[in-house]
Amino acid sequence: MNQPGHIVPLRVYFTIFGALMVFTALTVWVAYHDLGNFNIVAAMTIAVAKATLVVLYFMHVRYASRLIWVVVSAGLVWLVILLSLTMSDYLTRFAAV
Amino acid sequence: MEASLERREHYLNVSYGIKSWLLTTDHKRIALLYLATITLFFFVGGAFAVLMRLELITPKGDLVSAETYNKLFTMHGVMMIFFFLSPSVPATLGNFLVPMMIGARDLAFPRINLLSWYVFIFGGVLGLGAAAMGGVDTGWTFYTPYSSTYSNSAVVLTAVGAFFAGFSSILTGLNFIVTIHKMRAPGLQWFRLPLFIWAHYATSLIMILGTPVVAIAIVLVALERLFRIGIFDPNLGGDPVLFQHLFWFYSHPAVYIMILPAMGVISEIVACFSRRRVFGYRFVAFASLSIAVIGFLVWGHHMFVSGQSIYAGMVFSFLSFLVAVPSAVKVFNWMATMYKGAISYHTPMLYAFGFLGLFTVGGLTGLFLATLAVDVHVHDTYFIVAHFHYIMVGGTVMAYMGGIHFWWPKITGRLYPEAWGRFSALIVFLGFNLTFFPQFLLGYLGMPRRYHAYPEEFQVLNVMSSAGASILGIGYLIPMIYLIWSMRYGKPAGDNPWRATGLEWQTSSPPPTENFEETPLVTAPPYAYAKEEEEATVVH
Amino acid sequence: MSTSTNPVLPAHHFDDLQQQHEAAQLGMWVFLITEIMFFGGLFAAYTVYRSSYHQAFGAASRHLDITLGTFNTVVLIGSSLTMALAVHAAQRGRRRAIIGFLIATILLGAVFLGVKAFEYTHKFHEHLVPGHGFQFPDAALARPAELYFGLYFAMTGMHALHMIIGIGILLVMIRLAARGRFSAEHYSPIEVTGLYWHFVDIVWIFLFPLLYLIERHQ
């Protein structure tokens, strides 16, 4: 990013805020409906969508260099490694923990 | 051309007094602060080892009680891993050399660099305080539920000390990553960087991505002990093995934190003392990154017999074989570097040779352990102890000693006495093998680790090991003496006594505070030794 | 290079302000990666136990006040908005706007923490704090429920600690801004503070559904 960096227009911030409010209401609404195993999928999808908006617009990653994109991605990939390899143990033990 | 140390201003004499050291932001001074501190922790950890080896001379547990012995091996491990090995190369040689090798005036965040040292000291004080208060008996691995519920020792104090040592490494790794990305001199493209830099970059990735997970594991153990928030408590349905997952997620990559910088040192030494560029430079660079990445995918090999799913165990076993490949690539490339080189046997090169042999043995025995079925038999025996000491001591400490000697002239402006250097390197090599090779045999024969007593038939091998340890100790003491001696009485070194390539050798010894009179411009690939050798052969 | 009345020079080891700014950005992002992995360990523990004790986790989750949780989510996202507006003001060099938005961010953060303090006190009175006094209405699910509340306090507590630190940093930023230390040419401290604050918001964005919204439909 350059100094002065890319200045995000104010209306973008307010639009994103509005979207985040909508998603928040949506996630609460979905929680009151029994969708079985899909509840967690819906909840996490909405949370990921909200987080993505915050990262891209509030944190300016949409306008950032490739290096920043790589850093953010690396963090996410490593979190996935931690969660998935750990769960690979628990999901294949065939015994109650 | 010898530099006149007294008249010229450099980073050591630019200011005097304790405040100029304790409040410095010069990465070179901070490196020396770390050097002094980790040497202290090395001797503390070594003292615990001495007591252990004394106990193990006889089969009966007659020197200390079993409970005390538990504390000895715990404190030995904690001190050595968290407070000596992990910072050894990166915090001393890395801090000193990373900015210099890339032609920068300092690291990206000099004040955070100083903060990292104070955080490290704070962690060390907690660790030493725990030792003073009777120590910890859980093993450096802090397995739950013993550490979280049942142990009556200073668990929280020690664990929090390790937490701060880890936080210090995060700050160091962060500094290195930003520095290497943003502060390279003009012309210094990625593939012109010395392999020492690649090694420290890969190490920093591990510090950043792994340390936080052991940090939270430590926090949870502390919460469980202090507030009875039982995350790992089986009484609540908690799983003690979950702690092991979180612990080893970091602690396996941690061993690569300990070896990668050492490998970086070896690349520099082997190239210089073979007068040849490193064979397969890109392969070695990518091997460093591969080790860092694949190293995160293997942690379950510490948990084959813990109750972990056998299917997860198989996956971890396979991946553990994979991680050996880049390490082997490096060893082959270093050998190829030496082929048809003009080899000289100065002290750093002797340590490098030691590294190559001992690291190879340690690495190969790692393959035995990656083999799930074999590990079931040798887990928690002296085979494991021998394996990791071959890598940590035979590998990392040898490389560390080699690096200290190699860059000593640059750091102090003085030469160490070469004859004593070579002698000590040989003593270390002999002492090391006598200490640890018998332990492979002991483990294979079934002697468990972390026991202060053992069956009579193991005594001969144990006595050999303890005898070796005393020789090894002497081998480490002698350099302490002559290195300190040389700071005052050593011959002035000149800018580049080894005629090595690398930007750090293009400036004076000791360097000025800002490292270079002018920012260098880099146009050549690294390790441009070939031309020099041509000139030398012409002269002959 | 700088035309403001308060020309800012880069620190001695940087070549120019551009390099310094990029270094600060990259440095904060690398730090945030460590925070992802730090909270990640807690999320790993949560994932393991929720998958094993789904029923108990659902029952325990219903003891949290969804109204307060939703309110706090709105408040925290609002504080992210004011933080983004503070950075925007900094990019424009508008000193009073910077300070105003930073204060707004702190106030919203304080509201969030106040609500959490209220919730914690309530949990204490309900005997839902893990430890000796823990009592769960449904005895069959009591033990895994205690695991759930252990994670609840560990995760929201760690999150709250990060918010408190964030508020401390914001106070420092207000002080620096009041002294005129920021301009359109040099505002990266505000920007990296914003990155930190947004990250803390993102952690909550995940904590809210995972802790409050497990099985509300019963």
The single residue listed with the structure tokens 């407070």 is B83
The predicted pLDDT at position B531 comes to 61
Out of A20, A21, A59, closest to residue C195 by CB: A59
Contact between A14 and C81 using a beta-carbon 8 Å cutoff: yes
CA separation for the pair B381, B451 (Å, rounded): 10
Which tokens is B101 given?
């090798």
Which tokens is B62 given?
């007659």
Beta-bridged to residue B531, according to DSSP, are: none
Whether the CB of B209 is below 8 Å from some CB of chain A: the reply is yes
Whether the CB of C154 is below 8 Å from some CB of chain A: the reply is no
Q: Are B88 and B255 in contact (CB under 8 A)?
A: no
Task: Print burial letters for B90-103: b (CB count within 10 Å at least 16), e (below 16).
Answer: bbbbbbbbbbbbbb
Q: Are B56 and B466 in contact (CB under 8 A)?
A: yes
Beta-bridged to residue B381, according to DSSP, are: B448
Question: Residue A35 has what DSSP assignment?
Answer: -
The string of DSSP codes covering C27-68 is HHHHHHHHHHHHHHHHHHHHHHHHHH-HHHHHHHHTTS-HHH
Q: Are C58 and C214 in contact (CB under 8 A)?
A: yes
CA separation for the pair B245, B257 (Å, rounded): 18
Which contacts of B485-489 are long-range, i.e. CB under 8 A and separated by 24 or more positions? B485/B417, B486/B408, B486/B412, B486/B414, B486/B415, B486/B416, B486/B417, B487/B412, B487/B414
Q: Which of C46, C65, C216 to mutate to test the interface with A (most CBs of A within 10 A)?
A: C216
CA separation for the pair C208, A27 (Å, rounded): 10
Sign of torsion, CA B427 B429 B432 B438?
Answer: negative
CA separation for the pair C138, C60 (Å, rounded): 9
Out of C29, C43, C208, closest to residue A72 by CB: C29
Q: How far from C166 is each of B53, C73, C157, CA to CA, in Å?
A: 49, 17, 14
Out of B209, B229, B242, closest to residue C150 by CB: B229
Which residues of chain C register pLDDT less than 50?
A: 1-6
pLDDT reading at B463 higher than 70 = yes
The 10s digit of each residue's pLDDT in C4-38 is 344 578 899 999 999 999 999 999 999 999 999 99
CA separation for the pair B389, B33 (Å, rounded): 26
Can you tell me whether residue B492 is helix, strand or coil? strand
For chain B, the maximum distance between any two Cα atoms, rounded to a whole number of angstroms, is 79
What is the percent of chain A with per-residue pLDDT over 70, rounded to a whole number? 92
Which tokens is B231 given?
């995350």
The predicted pLDDT at position B540 comes to 34
Can you tell me whether residue B474 is helix, strand or coil? helix
ipTM of predicted complex: 0.94
Burial label for C79, CB within 10 Å (0-12, 13-18, 19+), is buried
CA separation for the pair B148, B235 (Å, rounded): 12
Out of C30, C36, C144, closest to residue B178 by CB: C30
Question: Residue C126 has what DSSP assignment?
Answer: T
B134: how many CB neighbours lie within 10 A of its CB? Answer: 13
What is the percent of chain B with per-residue pLDDT over 90, rounded to a whole number? 95
- Residues from chain B that touch A70, judged by Cβ atoms under 8 A, are none
Mean pLDDT across chain B, nearest whole number?
95
CA separation for the pair C121, C127 (Å, rounded): 10
ω into C7 cis (within 30 of 0): no
The 10s digit of each residue's pLDDT in A32-70 is 998 888 999 999 999 999 999 999 999 999 999 999 999
Angle between helical axes of B459-489 and B27-55 (0-180°, round to 10): 150
Query: Which residue in chain B has the smallest CA separation from A91?
Result: B309
**Residue range B491-517: mean pLDDT, rounded:** 95
Q: Are B93 and B261 in contact (CB under 8 A)?
A: yes
The 10s digit of each residue's pLDDT in B390-426 is 999 999 999 999 999 999 999 999 999 999 999 999 9
CA separation for the pair B501, B268 (Å, rounded): 9
The single residue listed with the structure tokens 């800002």 is B514
Task: Find residues 57-96 of chain A whose CB sits inside 8 Å of chain B.
Answer: 67, 74-75, 78, 81-82, 85-86, 88-94
Query: Which residue in chain C has the smallest CA separation from A1?
Result: C22
Encoded amino acid at C84, one letter: A
- Residues from chain C that touch B181, judged by Cβ atoms under 8 A, are 26
CA separation for the pair B140, C12 (Å, rounded): 42
Q: How far from C174 is each of A87, C17, C81, C100, C108, CA to CA, in Å?
A: 44, 22, 17, 9, 15
SS percent in chain B: helix, strand, coil, step 5: 70, 0, 25
Query: Which residue in chain C has the smallest CA separation from A2?
Result: C18
CA separation for the pair A54, A13 (Å, rounded): 10
**Residue range B303-332: mean pLDDT, rounded:** 96
pLDDT reading at B351 higher than 80 = yes
CA separation for the pair A54, C84 (Å, rounded): 10
Contact between B245 and A92 using a beta-carbon 8 Å cutoff: no
- B186 Cβ contact partners less than 8 Å away, ≥ 6 residues apart: B519, B521, B522
C94: how many CB neighbours lie within 10 A of its CB? Answer: 16
Which tokens is C22 given?
């990029």
The predicted pLDDT at position B533 comes to 55
pLDDT range class, residue B535, cuts 50, 70, 90: low
Encoded amino acid at A46, one letter: I
> What kind and span of H or E run contains B23?
none
- Residues from chain A that touch B209, judged by Cβ atoms under 8 A, are 74-75, 78
pLDDT range class, residue B4, cuts 50, 70, 90: low
Contact between C217 and A33 using a beta-carbon 8 Å cutoff: yes
CA separation for the pair B491, B417 (Å, rounded): 9
Nearest to B96 by CA among B6, B32, B21: B32
Chains touching C by CB (3 or more pairs below 8 Å): A, B
The 10s digit of each residue's pLDDT in B221-279 is 999 999 989 899 999 999 999 999 999 999 999 999 999 999 999 999 999 999 999 99
pLDDT reading at A96 higher than 70 = no
Q: How far from B322 is each of B172, B294, B309, B329, CA to CA, in Å?
A: 28, 8, 20, 12
Q: Are C200 and C145 in contact (CB under 8 A)?
A: no
The 10s digit of each residue's pLDDT in A6-40 is 889 999 999 999 999 999 999 999 999 988 889 99
Nearest to B414 by CA among B501, B537, B510: B510
The predicted pLDDT at position A4 comes to 52
CA separation for the pair A13, C179 (Å, rounded): 27
Phi, psi of B448 (to 5 degrees): -75, 155
Beta-bridged to residue B414, according to DSSP, are: B492
Can you tell me whether residue B414 is helix, strand or coil? strand
Can you tell me whether residue A12 is helix, strand or coil? helix
Beta-bridged to residue B448, according to DSSP, are: B381
The 10s digit of each residue's pLDDT in B113-127 is 999 999 999 999 999
- Residues from chain A that touch B308, judged by Cβ atoms under 8 A, are 89, 93
The single residue listed with the structure tokens 């920021």 is C182
Contact between A92 and B311 using a beta-carbon 8 Å cutoff: yes
CA separation for the pair B386, B364 (Å, rounded): 12
ω into A9 cis (within 30 of 0): no
CA separation for the pair A9, A57 (Å, rounded): 10
Whether the CB of B206 is below 8 Å from some CB of chain C: the reply is no
The predicted pLDDT at position C8 comes to 76
Size of interface A-B (CB pairs under 8 A): 39
CA separation for the pair C74, C69 (Å, rounded): 9
Query: Which residue in chain B has the smallest CA separation from C29?
Result: B174
- Residues from chain A that touch C206, judged by Cβ atoms under 8 A, are 47, 51
Q: CA torsion B470→B473→B475→B476, rounded to 10°?
A: 180
CA separation for the pair B428, B435 (Å, rounded): 10
